[in-house]
Structures are given as structure tokens and as C-alpha cells.
Structure 1
């Protein structure tokens, strides 16, 4: 007796069905997402190499985001001999001959440009300008990642703008030129983390989506961790050297690796560029041989999707379910962003050594990201996000209650709060990607990212005021993230769900939840 082999093609018809009389069963055709899932469902060497190449710009992003902690810091000073000066004196009420800086005056912009008696608005202007630029840049460039440039081109364009302006910053001659260049640098970095995260997650199957997306946060934490090391090694040098040392390697990396990184196949299909998309899928595929050829030959949906469903950022506003999701995630982003950046900048108010304080927070990001990496596939997005925000808020407020008299307990509470805030930030970014379809995913994620950055704009002012009143810094951070956390209740759970490609597809598949 001869046994025939049954083979299914993507239209759902098997060879046995065609040859066997009376057997008319036809399987439903696979969707584009299901087809891509079959091709990229595993995790091969090519996907791993691509993940590393794409995630590194997040390291440069972190360096430029927090470099002002060192370059804009107020150095320690000492009284000169044979003067009436003492350690409790107000430096602004002393003659210049009565005191001097502990280190060379070119170490930070404060000592080089004589800003020690300037208002907190002036001294905090460069840092705030950077984050304001991030908001403007993110909003301006958001749709380019969905429409014209794509994920890859926008990522590298943003990184180069940020790094070149950071290099030019080293040649600033006053606070106004410095702040302007920081604004432009922030404009460039507005889309980096979002593009990195999306490009990573759109090129793997849903089984690996959360783990690979976490690589963005791992690289970001290494970026923060590298800063105190670089600043310490250059502690006797000018602040300008720190900008040069962080910008030139980033520029070199972007120019070299641009030619080796692949675009998102999902985005290419949405643009109707099927041939390019299939070529990328072939390079990234976790299957090979005849199975891969069969899957690729059956894909023909890209042009149909792109022509029937153009990219519309306004869909996030016009569709009630989308508007509800984007507003809720932006509120969460604002609260988490205020607490996250507040902890990093506010460590100066705890009386710790600046290098050690930043290093402790940066080191804490490594286990944070490892925890996310190994447990994101098990966590329900809503419950974990809510829990992390609540714990973070309570610990932050307790920092104020304990006070600086119990320094050890206070730094422990700050680290606990920062740990939970970092986990909440990781979950929120992955949650946002899962909430929106491919056609608006970059735009939606960028809006949430800008809400996070919006929270950071207020951080320099709050940390400055926190030197006199602790509640203005850590109390405000904790209360804000506590209140914002409750809005997660209105969002749907997305753990284990497929990524949709169009707004109509997302709406039709989720209309019961909506």
C-alpha cells in the first residue's frame, strides 16, 4: 500500500485534497502576521547579530541624556587662607579673592563661565533645553518612521543629528550657545529609543518580542553606567573633553553599521515594497530550505494593505479606542518619566558622592533589565505595571519622610524606588508596542516616549528646589507616579497577543474588548 505525502500551501489547499475524491476541506489562508511569525518565529544567529547592532544607539542616547549631570555640576570650593570665609559662607556674598574652586575652573560650565551665583533657571536651562528638544524632535519626526524614512533610516538620522551637535557643543563659548546646541542634540535623540525598540521587536516572533525588546534597556543602562567612568577618568580635564569622548565613537559607529542593518520587513510590506521585505525575511529567517521558499512565495499582501489602508496619525485621534489607549499610555509615561529622570538627577540632593551615586543607580539598571528579560514573557502587562508604579511611589515619598539624617536608609529607599520605576518603564514601552498596529506603531510609541521626556523637563527645576525642600523633589516624584498608575485600569491586556498590521485589523479583532 502506497502512502502519499500531504503538503499544505499558504492558501490552505493540500495536494492530497486536490487528488482525493470527495475530500473538499480547505484551510483558511494565513494572514501576513501569521506568515511572518512562521518565518521569524525562532531566533537565529542573524537575528541575534542584528539585535546587537540595532540596540547600541540606545547606549549613546543614554550618554547624551545624562552627560549634564557631570558637565553642568557645581564644583566644590574652598576658602583661601587669611580670609574671614568659612564653609558655611554664601559664596555669592564673598569677594572672589576669598575663595577658589577645589578643581580646575574648566571642569564644568558653572566654574568656567562663572555661573555659581546664577539663578536655578539659568543653570538648569541646558538640561531642560535638551529634553524640550527631545519632545519637539520626537513629535516632528514621529510620522517619518511610519511613512517616509522607515525605522532604520530614522534611527540613524536621529543618532547622527544628536551626536554631531554634541560634538559641536564642545566648542560652545557661552551658556546661550551651549543651551541652543543641547536643544538641537535633544531634537535628534527624540526618536532613537523608540526606533530601536520597534526595529528590534518587529523582526522577531512574538515568543521573543519581550526579551529582544529588553536589549534596548540593557544598552541604555550600559550607557548610563559608562558615564561616571568616563567622567572620573577625565576628572582633571575640561567638560568639553567629555562631549568629544562620547560623540566621536557614536558617529563612527553609526556610519559603519548603517550598511549592515536591515529594515523592518513589516514596515516594508506596509509600504508595498514586497521584494525588499522578502529579501529581509530571507536573511533573518529562522527556517530554511523548501519551507522558507514556500512561505516567501505565498506572500503578496503588502501592496494590498498599503494601498487600502494608508498611514494616518490622525487615526489615533479619530478612533475612540485608539485615543483612549494613547492618552492613557501618555499619562503613565509622564508619571514614570518624572520619577525615572528625577531619581537620576536628584541623587545630588542625597549628599552622596556624585560619581558613586550615579554609578549605583546605573548598576541597578543591569539587574532591572535582566529581570525584565527573563520574566517579561510571564508578566501580565497591566498588573505588573500598576504594582511597580505603586511601590516606586511609596518608596520615593518615604525618602522624604526618613530624611537625610538616616543616609543609609534613604539611599536604600531611593534605589528601591528607582528599581521599580525602571521596571515600569520597560514594561510600558513593550506594552505600547503591543497596543498599536504596524501602521501607527512608531508614531504611538514616539508619543508615549515624548510624554516620558515631558516629565523630565521639570526635573532640573524640582531637583534644584529639592535642595531646600525635599518634598519638591522626591515627594513630587512619588506622588505623581502613584496618581498616574491608576489609569492603567482602562487599558486591555496584551500579553501573548499577536501584533496587528493595520488599524482596521486591530479594531476588528479587538472590538469586543473595546
Structure 2
């Protein structure tokens, strides 16, 4: 059967049709950029201490009623206790002066029975101040981020399979609607529990529409334009959206206003339904040749080129067979059915897990760059721009396997070296940490393109969704991984560095896809000599091919 890219080569690579698909799909990624890390501002903990009601207290006692504690070598007001109000009122009425007439360490303390007073120096409000996620309920604050990433994980896992079954376009717009609607509805949450449920549903669409847009563009674009889209296009738009987030958060310091600002842009993408078509590759994989031809003919009309009388002539002969086979739908278990595909899937999931753990771990740890969280967030986003440009160059000129191994080794070594930097050279430690973030960002961009290139059309979105789900497991544990620094400052860096080095060796067993057309069927994936892992024997591989050919 003639290769799809060769079949539609008469369209060219950069006509009006390709330009519309390229820019509209890239634009759809912007909300993912400022939505992915919005939880950093929504869920941040403002400075706080126990509220003191308006009672008759002297100025000295009002200033002294909150105990002083030493935290990380610094003195600060206690966040969860105060001296007993009735005792303090009695001492104040008698004219006693704290510290002179009364030893404060002898006074009994109580919890924040009247609530908390939150600083408004940085935020007007966050969900922490709205729902009092402090002291005995402080566990809810990090768990909120985990709930969000769990939603992203579940959405990534199931959206890929739904996309391979029902089409790229419906899943793309459905997940975009989920993200937009439930981000908006979160503003009306009456409690933390309701907010968390809505946040989970919003997370279902957050990464799912990103993957759907990525696969949709990768299948409709060809040649160098496809490489440009899958590296610079979607990734730079994500970084631009990421850099817009601190700008929104700086001017909208109330959590409800911020949610409104990041949800409304989703309404602008409703008209995209009439401009973005379904993937012809997917339609062909389902035996729907007439629909695929209709889309390509419209594309030819937009590009002002003449289409052949029969575009997919080779596919028509197989249409009935494909339609019959489509009744037996492919699913996630096909990613594990043979040793060749299973080993490729397991290694890719390991790499995605490592990349995501490093990316989110270092992104959430950038507060040390600057005391101002808005500047910290912008710097963390800005470092991604040169990273994505580097990923585009790597995809354009370098083999995938060599690129991944080099990036993982460099990222792992930079994290190992942080513990060797003396405290007097703190800027060098930050530079090494940003180098690690730079490498993990490049690797994350490469992995999306690499995964799409390795799997056939009938499994491509399932594979992308499954690997993306593995990466979201890494994002879920990243906040807890950072907490290990309480026991040993450099332990998170050592763990992430070790993961990187182990993943680099695992990547050596992946097949190469550089310069090869996207596989259409599972047979094509198996027939490529370079697709065989070193530990798969020729006999085992030939059996796998026969098995799948009997199904297809």
C-alpha cells in the first residue's frame, strides 16, 4: 500500500490548509500553558496567624498575644496558636506589661479558635485563605495539587483510547470544553470538597486536549512542517501561555478573578470546530475512505492544487477489510501484547515518568530563584523557550535515541553536581538546577514527537495517552518528592539524577524513527528492522508479525 505522505504529496507541505491547521491547533495550546500551573497561585499559602477579635487589650498585649517561633533559623509569628485570650485580657486589665511583668513562656496557649488573619501583601485571597487550609487542615493544601494531577492522569489515560476509537476531533473539543467549563464553575465552590471535585474534572481535560491537538496536527501535517509543529509549534505556545500566567496572577490577585481570566479564553475556541477537520489518517484506519478523500479534496481546493481523480486508490481495495477489522477495536492491551511493542511501551513510560518528575519537581521548586512568586514563575517559564527551540533543532537534525540519551545524562549529571557546590556559590547551584529544568523540558518535548513516530495510526493516540498517563504519575509524586528535602537537602536531586541516568541506559533499547514515515498499521511497525529491540529475537518477532497480520 502506498504511504500516506506520498499519497497526499500533491497538497504540498505549507499551503493555506496546512497553515490553518498549524496555527489554530497551536493557538488551542495557549490555555494549557496558563492553566497547567495556575494551581501554584490558586493554592499558595499566604502568611497568616491566629485572628484576634476586637476586645479591650492594650497595645503591648495585642502585639504580644501571638507567640514567636523559630522556623528554619528565622523568628516568625506562630501560625497555629496564640496565648489564651481570657488570660491575656485579665492581665491587660490589671496593667501588666508582657515581657516585663509577665514571662510569656509561662502562659498557656490555645489554637486559632477565632480563625486566622491572612497577609494581603502578595495575594488578596487564595483557596487556602478562602477555605482555611492551614494548621489541622494543612494536609489539604498539597493534596489539592495531587487531586488536580490525578485528574490529568485519568484524562490522559482514557482520552487516548477514546480518540483512537471515536476520532481525534470529537475528543479534542470535548476535553477542551471540560477544561473551560469546570475551570469557570470552580469560582462558585462553597467548600474545599466541591472545589476539589471540580478541579479533578477540570484536570481531565487539561492535558487530554493537548495530546489530542498534538496527535491531530502530527497526522495532518507532513515532512518538516510536522516536525516544526510537534516541537516548536505546540511547545512554544505552551511556554507563551505559561509566561502569561504570572502576568494574569499579578494583576488579578484574587483566586476567583484568576479562575475567570484563565477560563474565558476557552470560549474563543468554539469556532475552531468549523475550521479543524478530522484526521484523514484516522479515517483511513477506520476504513472511511470517502470521508478522508472529501477532507483532502477540500484541502486541495484551499491550496489551489488539482487533486487526482482517485486519491486513496490503494486504500479502497482494503476498505471492506478495514471496516470489518474496525469492529474489533484496538485498546491499551495491544500496547502490551507482543514483546516488541511491550518493551517499547514500558521504556517509553519510564522515560515519560522520569521527564515529568524532573520537570514538575524543578518547576515547583523554583521559589528559591526570587522571593517574588510572580518573578519566579516567569523565570521558570522563560527557560522553556530556548529549551523548545533546542528540541526543534534536535528533532530536525538528530536521531531521537541519541538526543534522549544525551539529554538524560546531562540532566542527571547537573542535578548530581548541585550537592558539590559550596553554599557561598548559591547562584551556581540555581544555574545547575535551571540546566536540569532545561534538559527535562527538551526531553518532554522530544518524547511527545518520538511516541507519535513509533506507533501506528490505530494505536497512536492510545500510546500517547498511556505514556502521558505515566508521566502524570511522575507529576503526582513530584510535590512529595520535594518534601524529602526536609530530611536531607539534596535527596530530591539525587533521586531525580539517578532516575535520569537509569532512563538514559533504558533509552538505548528503543527503536529509531528519525527520517522514517509514520507507520499506518501494526504490521508496518513490526516490519521495520530498526523497530526491533536488541533483546527481541528474530523468531519471536516474526511470530508477532504473523499474529497481528492474522488480526489485520
* TM-score of the superposed pair, with normalisation by structure 1: 0.86
Does the CA-based 8 Å contact 2:512-2:531 persist in structure 1?
Answer: no
> What is the distance in 2 between the residues matched to 1:361 and 1:203?
32
- The superposition leaves residues 163-194 of structure 1 with CA deviations (integer Å, 9 ceiling, x where unpaired) of 21111111122222221111111122242221
Once the two structures are superposed, the pairs formed by residues 248-397 of structure 1 within 5 Å of their partners are: 248-250=264-266, 252-285=267-300, 289-290=305-306, 292-294=307-309, 296=311, 298=313, 300-301=315-316, 303-304=319-320, 306-307=322-323, 309-310=325-326, 311-313=329-331, 314-348=333-367, 352-397=371-416
Q: Residue 176 and residue 404 in structure 1: after superposition, are their counterparts in 2 closer, same or farther (change >3 A)? A: farther
Counterpart CA distance in 2 for 1:402 and 1:99 is: 40
Shift of 1:114: 2.1
- Check whether the contact 1:136–1:190 (CA below 8 A) recurs between aligned residues: no
Deviation at 1:141, TM superposition (A): 2.4
Q: Normalised by the size of structure 2, how large is the TM-score?
A: 0.80
How far apart are residue 371 of structure 1 and its match? 2.4
Would you say 1:477 and 2:496 are equivalent positions? yes
Residue 420 of structure 1 and its aligned partner are, at CA, apart by 0.8
CA distance in 2, matches of 1:98, 1:169: 24
Q: In 2, distance between residues paired with 1:498 and 1:115?
A: 52
SS in 2 for 1:473: helix
C-alpha distance 379-94 of structure 1, shift in aligned 2 (>3 A):
farther
Distance change in 2, residues 1:309/1:342 (3 Å): same
Q: CA RMSD in A?
A: 2.7
Report if aligned partners of 1:328, 1:487 keep a CA contact under 8 Å in 2.
Answer: yes
Contact 1:135 1:454 in 2 (8 A): yes
Asked whether 1:170 is paired with 2:187, we answer yes
C-alpha separation between the residues in 1 aligned to 2:385 and 2:19?
19
**Aligned with 1:30: secondary structure?**
coil
Shift, 1:365, TM fit:
1.3
Distance 1:99 1:34, change over 3 A: closer
| Distance (Å, rounded) in 2 between the aligned partners of 1:106 and 1:240 | 10
Q: Is the 8 A contact 1:364 1:419 kept in 2?
A: yes
1:19-42 deviations in Å (ceiling 9; x for gaps):
xxxxxxxxxx73444313x23552
* Structure 2: gaps spanning 5 or more residues: 53-58, 69-74, 84-111, 534-552
Residue 39 in structure 1 maps to residue 57 in structure 2: no
Q: Is 58-67 or 303-312 further displaced after alignment?
A: 303-312
Inter-partner Cα distance in structure 1 for 2:419 and 2:28: 36
Question: In 2, are the aligned partners of 1:203 and 1:264 still within 8 Å (CA)?
Answer: yes
Deviation at 1:464, TM superposition (A): 4.0
8 Å CA contact retained: 1:41, 1:206: no
Partner of 1:184: 201
CA deviation map 1:446-482 (0-9, x unaligned) = 1111111110001222334435643343333333223
Secondary structure of residue in 2 paired with 1:402: coil
Change (3 A) 1:287 1:56: closer
SS of residue in 2 equivalent to 1:315: helix
- Cross-structure match for 1:70: 41
Change (3 A) 1:73 1:404: farther
- 2-structure distance, mates of 1:305, 1:422: 42
Q: Given that residues 74 and 111 in structure 1 are in contact (C-alpha distance below 8 angstroms), is that contact kept between their aligned partners in structure 2?
A: yes
1:92 corresponds, among 80, 98, 102, to 80
Describe the SS at the equivalent of 2:188.
coil
Residue 361 of structure 1 aligns to a residue whose secondary structure is helix
Pick from 427, 445, 449 the counterpart of residue 408 of structure 1.
427
> Aligned partners of 2:237 and 2:4: how far apart in 1?
31
- Secondary structure of residue in 2 paired with 1:269: helix
> Which deviates more, 320-329 or 477-486?
477-486
Task: Tell me the equivalent position of 2:226.
Answer: 209
| Partner residue in 2 for 1:453 | 472
Describe the SS at the equivalent of 2:396: coil
Greater CA drift, 463-472 or 139-148? 463-472
Runs of 4+ in 1 over 6 A off after TM superposition: 78-81
Task: Give me the whole-angstrom Cα distance separating, in 2, the residues matched to 1:343 and 1:136.
Answer: 23
Question: How far apart, in 2, do the equivalents of 1:211 and 1:425 lie?
Answer: 15
Task: State the distance in 1 between where 2:162 and 2:321 align.
Answer: 18
Aligned equivalent of 2:104: none
